[in-house]
């Protein structure tokens, strides 16, 4: 399960916060789909005693992310490596919290190892916030690209802030992320550099040994 906080009234977001989502917005299907998934899981748990665990993930990134998945880190890296403008919406002052995939997996494994009585939801993410503009600048510096940042109108319902409160994960799972953004970007950029190569082939067809999945 992934978090569905659009315009949060609580910051950072705890598991007890119910969210604030426009029910008829352009991204409503994305947001409400995740809320619906939690609802269905809990209904099956209550009615059929199904064993469940619910995690709310916050912006996972890392190697093996699909280059066209629409996530901001993969978008920026692909644009930088191809020498294209780095697309920032609004002024880039909106914030996100990025969790490296190995940290996310460790959190999920620890959640699965808890007693059946602990269901969640529990936030799995990195509580360190960065502005989108700062992320773009980091990617430019670390890729060595000549790309420049270009600013575009901000989409409807684009979140202003997104930061998890991981107090529950620290307490119950004895977990917190270890890998800072700069350290996680290095292997992520290297991965994209390898699959993009000279841009003459589609990343999905370069090697049958590479399986691209969303992180």
Positions annotated as catalytic residues are 30
> Six-digit token pair at 130?
């960065």
b/e for 2-23, b at 16 or more Cβ within 10 A? Answer: bbbbbebeeebbebebebebee
Cα 97 to Cα 88: distance, rounded to the nearest angstrom: 16
Cα 1 to Cα 124: distance, rounded to the nearest angstrom: 10
C-alpha to C-alpha distances, 133 to 3, 11, 44, 76, nearest whole angstrom = 22, 20, 42, 11
C-alpha to C-alpha distances, 77 to 8, 131, 138, 187, nearest whole angstrom = 28, 16, 10, 12
**How do beta strands 55-57 and 95-97 pair?**
unpaired
Do residues 178 and 110 lie in contact, with contact meaning Cβ atoms separated by under 8 Å? Answer: no
b/e for 37-60, b at 16 or more Cβ within 10 A? Answer: ebeebbeeeeeeeeeebbbbbbbb
Among 61, 54, 17, 57, residue whose Cα is nearest residue 180 = 61
Cα distance from N-terminal residue to C-terminal residue, the chain:
13
């Amino acid at each position: 399960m992934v978090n569905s906080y659009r315009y949060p009234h609580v910051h950072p977001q705890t598991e007890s916060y119910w969210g604030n989502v426009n029910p008829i917005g352009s991204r409503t299907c994305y947001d409400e789909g995740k809320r619906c998934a939690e609802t269905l899981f809990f209904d099956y748990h209550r009615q059929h005693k199904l064993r469940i665990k619910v995690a709310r993930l916050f912006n996972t990134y890392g190697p093996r992310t699909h280059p066209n998945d629409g996530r901001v880190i993969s978008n920026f890296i692909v644009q930088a490596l191809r020498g294209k403008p780095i697309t920032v919406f609004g002024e880039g002052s909106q914030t996100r919290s990025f969790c490296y995939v190995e940290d996310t997996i460790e959190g999920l494994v620890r959640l699965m190892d808890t007693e059946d009585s602990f269901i969640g939801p529990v936030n799995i993410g990195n509580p360190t916030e960065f502005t989108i503009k700062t992320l773009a600048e980091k990617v430019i510096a670390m890729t060595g690209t000549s790309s420049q940042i270009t600013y575009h109108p901000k989409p409807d319902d684009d979140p202003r802030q997104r930061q998890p409160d991981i107090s529950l994960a620290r307490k119950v799972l004895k977990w917190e992320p270890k890998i800072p953004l700069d350290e996680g970007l290095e292997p992520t950029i290297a991965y994209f550099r390898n699959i993009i190569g000279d841009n003459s082939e589609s990343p999905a067809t370069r090697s049958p040994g590479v399986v691209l999945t969303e992180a």
